[in-house]
Structures are given as C-alpha cells and as structure tokens.
C-alpha cells in the first residue's frame, strides 16, 4: 500500500463519513473542551460525562475539519466510551506513541507510552482493536499528526477538568 493509501484507509473514510457519537451533552453535568488546529482550521469539541466511579459514561463529539481530525476523534470517542478515566489517559499516551510522540507527563514516567500500551480487549462497541491502528499511516505525513492528535489533546483537557490529576 502506498503511503497515501495508508493515510486514507477505508476505515478512516468510514469514520469520516459516519462519525460516531456526534452531538452535544448538557453541561453540567458533562464537561466540555474545545480544541483548534491553527494550521488548517480544524476544530473539535469534546463532551464527556464522568460518573462518581470515574467512568466515562457518555461521550459526544462536535466540530468540523479534515478527514484525519474528524475520523481520529470519532475513533477516539468509540474507544473511551464506558472506560475509566485512567484508562482513557493511558489510551491518549498510547495513541500519541502511535504518532511517534513520546511524553513523560501523563501520570507516569513515559515508559508506558514507549512500551505501546495494548488497547482494551473489553470494548465491544463498533470499534475493534485495529481501528486506531489504521491511523498509523499519519506518521508518514508529519503535517497531519496535529490533525490526528487534536481530538486526543482536547480529550485530555476535558479529562483534566472532570478529574484533575492528583
């Protein structure tokens, strides 16, 4: 598969034309965060509802932008729904690792990201284990990495507001 075909894999186009979890949630009790990509004008709005046990009971995604930013946010929403906040945070680090971004400040010393956290096997939503892997092709187009991570960075902000890191 050429680099270009890698970037625009069918699964990405699927999430782009039928984005999951589109809409809004009432705030409060949900938390809302907004992110912009100044390069190309992408915007993502992330709503999350976190219950008293720290589980993300609902997610909604808004905003507009390119196929990479919107499909990544859509896949993200399916991946975190029903998950505990901690797991969502680890997913963020893992996804950024997929994008070759290794950080040391997401509740750990970075070794988790470097080891490539395996994605949850419990998720029985329409997102399968391989969905996020489809975005691996983005790495070959560095300019698009910010598009792919936009939703995830916005999610991190929303998580910090809902459940600040102690």
Candidates 36-44, 46-54, 72-80, 117-125; binding stretch for other proteins (CB under 8 A): 36-44
Cα(57)–Cα(83) distance, integer angstroms = 8
Compute the least distance from the CB of residue 15 to other proteins, in Å.
12
| Phi, psi values for residue 78, rounded to 5° | -70, -35
Of 56, 59, 58, the closest CA to residue 89 belongs to 56
Cα(95)–Cα(125) distance, integer angstroms = 18
Report the residue from 6, 55, 57, 66 that binds other proteins according to the rule CB under 8 A.
66
Compute the least distance from the CB of residue 21 to other proteins, in Å.
19
Candidates 3-11, 27-35, 50-58, 157-165; binding stretch for other proteins (CB under 8 A): 3-11
CB 45 within 8 A of CB 31: no
Q: Does 64 bind other proteins (CB under 8 A)?
A: yes
Report the residue from 15, 89, 96, 144 that binds other proteins according to the rule CB under 8 A.
144
């Amino acid at each position: 598969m050429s680099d270009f075909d890698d970037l625009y894999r069918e699964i990405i186009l699927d999430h782009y034309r039928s984005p999951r979890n589109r809409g809004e949630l009432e705030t409060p009790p949900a938390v809302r965060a907004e992110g912009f990509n100044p390069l190309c004008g992408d915007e993502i709005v992330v709503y999350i509802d976190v219950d008293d046990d720290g589980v993300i009971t609902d997610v909604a995604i808004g905003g507009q932008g390119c196929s990479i930013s919107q499909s990544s946010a859509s896949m993200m929403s399916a991946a975190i729904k029903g998950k505990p906040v901690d797991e969502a945070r680890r997913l963020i680090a893992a996804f950024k690792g997929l994008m070759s971004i290794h950080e040391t400040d997401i509740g750990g010393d970075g070794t988790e990201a470097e080891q490539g956290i395996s994605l949850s096997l419990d998720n029985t939503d329409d997102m399968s284990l391989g969905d996020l892997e489809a975005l691996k092709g983005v790495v070959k187009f560095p300019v698009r990495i910010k598009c792919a991570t936009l939703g995830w960075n916005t999610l991190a902000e929303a998580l910090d507001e809902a459940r600040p890191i102690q």
